[in-house]
Structure 1
Amino acid sequence: MIRPEARAAFARWSEALWGCGVLALGLYWAFFTGGGLLHWLGYAVALAGGLLLLAGIQRGRFRTGSGGPGIVRVIEGRITYMGPLTGGVADLDALTRLELDPSGKPAHWMLHQAGQPTLAIPVNATGGEVLFDAFSALPGLQTERMLSVLNGTSREVVTLWQEPTSRIAHLRLH
């Protein structure tokens, strides 16, 4: 009854749509219920709906599709990718660099760890939407930059995050 393209669009933007609904309900309560507690509660609900809308827009921009090769799981900071040709595991705490390689079909997240082979995950891998929260946990990652590169037209590998260099390589006493 619903076309597959419309169903995919609703699924991609579902959080943003929920945010619009909560925002509309909050604004209705705030402006059309007169006074009292429901009036003030409406402002709080509208604020929550606005925040949900913004988060939903970010998540919708991150979802570039599904049904791609492989399956992604994130459990307690460990990213697991099981693909038809490759696969692997990367711990968020052990990541040294996160890159996006848009030159492939589809584009790939490139997760680098010291002493381990690079883990390449297609952006449209099944379950790949959980990577948004995982990547957001990286200290200093600029979410808006990540989303603009992901949805951009560049064909070059882009480093999105690199481990902060807090270690002193050489300490002189004299």
Structure 2
Amino acid sequence: MPDVVGLVFDPSKGFNASPVIVTDSLCWNELQTTDFLDDKPQYNPETGEKQGIIPTILALDRKVGDKEQRIVITGDADCVSNGEMSKSRNGYSSNNFTVITGTFKWLSYDEYPLDTERINPEDNAVSIGRDARKMVRYGCYALLPLIFAACGITILVRRKRR
């Protein structure tokens, strides 16, 4: 997550926060440097910069009545894009697919992936009689090509008239 924004959490709103992904201890919120192309950012605690572990993805949950509300907040929406699924940087491969599927599993109360299995229908075979086979064969070998040829000729004749 190269363009990620660090997240700050306020527990007074009634949510319980669980960090999903955090930075290492070498991170801080830069408050002074405005030109990152020419100037190199440096940690300066006198200006209010705090160095430490900063969450970049938070999972929030709280009780609302008899139900539970769940929210996932990310500091970088690109981490769930198709381009970031299998990207590797400096020899480190990303685990974005695992994070995404785990997040969806948590949001759906561990019912992810969805079970879409259905019972087999009773009518799962097609059987046609001997006479119907002849009609299907003649339709595919003769009637269908004649229809395509007639459509093609009609299109050619109409184009020639213009």
Instruction: Please classify the TM superposition score into its range, dividing by the shorter chain length.
Output: under 0.3
Q: By percentage of residues, which structure has more helix?
A: 1
**TM-score, reference length from structure 2:** 0.22
**TM-score, reference length from structure 1:** 0.21
